[in-house]
Amino acid sequence: MENGGAKEWHFRGNEELTKASAITIRGVLNMLMENLNPDDSRSVISLGHGDPSEFPCFRTTPLAVDAICESVRSAKYNGYGSTVGIPPARSAIAEYLSKDLPYKLSPDDVYLTIGCIQAIEVILQVLARPNANILLPRPGFPFYESRARFCHLEVRHFDLIPEKGWEVDLDAVEALADENTAAMVIINPGNPCGNVFSYEHLKKVAETARKLGILVIADEVYDHLTFGSNPFVPMGVFGSIAPIVTVGSISKRWIVPGWRLGWLVTNDPNGILMKHGIVDSIKGFLSISSDPATFVQGAIPQILKNTTNEFFSKIVNILMEAADLCYDRIKDIHCITCPSKPEGSMFVMVKLNLSLLEGIKDDVDFCRRLAEEESVIVLPGVAVGLKNWLRVTFAVEPSSLDDGLGRIKAFYERHAKKQ
């Protein structure tokens, strides 16, 4: 018999993985790329993802590159590191984050991860006890939902309110929560909305979490990338009100997502997370998973110490000018409307008015045909939880952004309903 006489193979793929990855940003963007017209000689303009590292104007600081090179050449970081991160890197991150807090973080509060993505994986797996649920924002970052469902953590959604600058609907949070609710997630500065929460609103979030007896997962991967009326306020400021688990990385502020260095931080001066086993569970997860490249960890102290305010200001100014351009040009594209001007991160959400378009079924159809006809990639809102909206990335070269928005306008004019 073929293959040594085996009647039946006793292995199967894990269907849970297929279900969990049904809608991801990368998957949707790959689908759209497949619809590009190979006969279109124009360059493809991607306004669909938050990685501007390919553009010269967004190049990271040479000081960070020097720190990486020095770390490699030193030969001090060729071996395995601690599962929670090497001590110099943990200390440097604790000091860096403490600058914005009313208390001082300990290095023991910091756990190094492979980008912010692994930090999310860690905390969701830690909370995934039988019957537990988690509250996620809508719209939001879809990886939270995919990962939560994979580890059998029930997902419940609360809305962000576009008419109020995408503030959290705290009444909905209270209505959704029950005795099995473990945590709520906030993303600040906002992905996908480009909003920045005020101090007052974040304090209300913390007070609501305390009232409900849940922790707050604060996704601050876009920390300090703000350029509006609200400055960035870390959720950890309110750690004495409710326990906060912050996830972040160097990916966005330093424009180096490929370096895969992130962190999970417990902001908990009252020791609540320790008492309830969360800290031990975090350590347990990290002891059975991979950790970031040791030489990148070894470079962190110098990266955090040496990067100048001039570099940070340059990146923020580029984003601010791009956000202004994006917001102004969108006004000329009548089938999409922007409820509020972006004030942070790299994105803006715009509402699609299908009644002004001929033959466009929904946001996915809009984006698919836009890719085919104009070689422009934009993320359909359904990928982030809002059907018939679009997420537009403005973190691209200014000339590419201008060209891309011009092509979207041409697409609209070609498909506009005749009056």
Going edge to edge, which strands form the sheet with 133-138?
Answer: 110-113, 262-267, 244-249, 215-219, 181-187, 133-138, 154-161, 167-168
282: phi then psi, degrees, rounded to nearest 5: -60, -50
Residue 173 and residue 158 in contact, taking contact as beta carbons nearer than 8 Å? yes
3-state DSSP assignment of residue 289: coil
42-81 confidence digits (pLDDT tens): 999 999 998 999 999 999 999 999 999 999 999 999 999 9
Name the maximum alpha-carbon separation found in the chain.
73
Report pLDDT for 2: 54
Distance CA(284)–CA(359), nearest Å, equals 53
Distance CA(204)–CA(372), nearest Å, equals 45
* Residue at 108: amino acid letter: D
CA distances from 407 to 168, 235, 344, 372 (A): 34, 39, 25, 12
CA distances from 346 to 189, 301, 341 (A): 9, 26, 12
In this structure, the number of other CB atoms found within 10 A of the CB of residue 390 comes to 28
How many Cα atoms are found within 13 Å in the side-chain-facing hemisphere of 194?
27
User: How buried is 370 (Cβ within 10 angstroms: 0-12 exposed, 13-18 middle, 19+ buried)?
Assistant: buried
Residue 155 and residue 149 in contact, taking contact as beta carbons nearer than 8 Å? yes
**Cα dihedral sign for 415, 416, 417, 419?**
negative
13: phi then psi, degrees, rounded to nearest 5: -70, 155
Kind of pairing between the strands at 336-337 and 347-352? antiparallel
Cis peptide before 189 (omega within 30 of 0): yes
- The phi-psi region of residue 344 (left if phi > 0; otherwise alpha if psi is between -120 and 50; otherwise beta) is beta
Model confidence, pTM: 0.96
In this structure, the number of other CB atoms found within 10 A of the CB of residue 410 comes to 14
317-369 confidence digits (pLDDT tens): 999 999 999 999 999 999 999 999 999 999 999 999 999 999 999 999 999 99
202-215 confidence digits (pLDDT tens): 999 999 999 999 99
Supply the DSSP string of 99-144, one letter for each residue: TTSSSPPPGGGEEEESHHHHHHHHHHHHH--TT-EEEEEES--THH
In this structure, the number of other CB atoms found within 10 A of the CB of residue 219 comes to 26
Burial profile 192-210: b = 16 or more Cβ within 10 angstroms, e = fewer: bbbbbbbeebbbbbbebbb
Q: Write the DSSP symbol of residue 338.
A: -
Alpha helices in 178-308 (DSSP H): 199-212, 272-275, 278-287, 294-306
Tens-digit pLDDT string for the chain (419 aa): 455 666 788 898 998 888 777 778 988 999 999 999 999 999 999 999 989 999 999 999 999 999 999 999 999 999 999 999 999 999 999 999 999 999 999 999 999 999 999 999 999 999 999 999 999 999 999 999 999 999 999 999 999 999 999 999 999 999 999 999 999 999 999 999 999 999 999 999 999 999 999 999 999 999 999 999 999 999 999 999 999 999 999 999 999 999 999 999 999 999 999 999 999 999 999 999 999 999 999 999 999 999 999 999 999 999 999 999 999 999 999 999 999 999 999 999 999 999 999 999 999 999 999 999 999 999 999 999 999 999 999 999 999 999 999 999 999 999 999 87
* C-alpha angle 166-172-175 in degrees, rounded to nearest 5: 165
CA 362 centroid distance within chain: 25
Closest alpha carbon to 341 in 332, 350, 333:
350
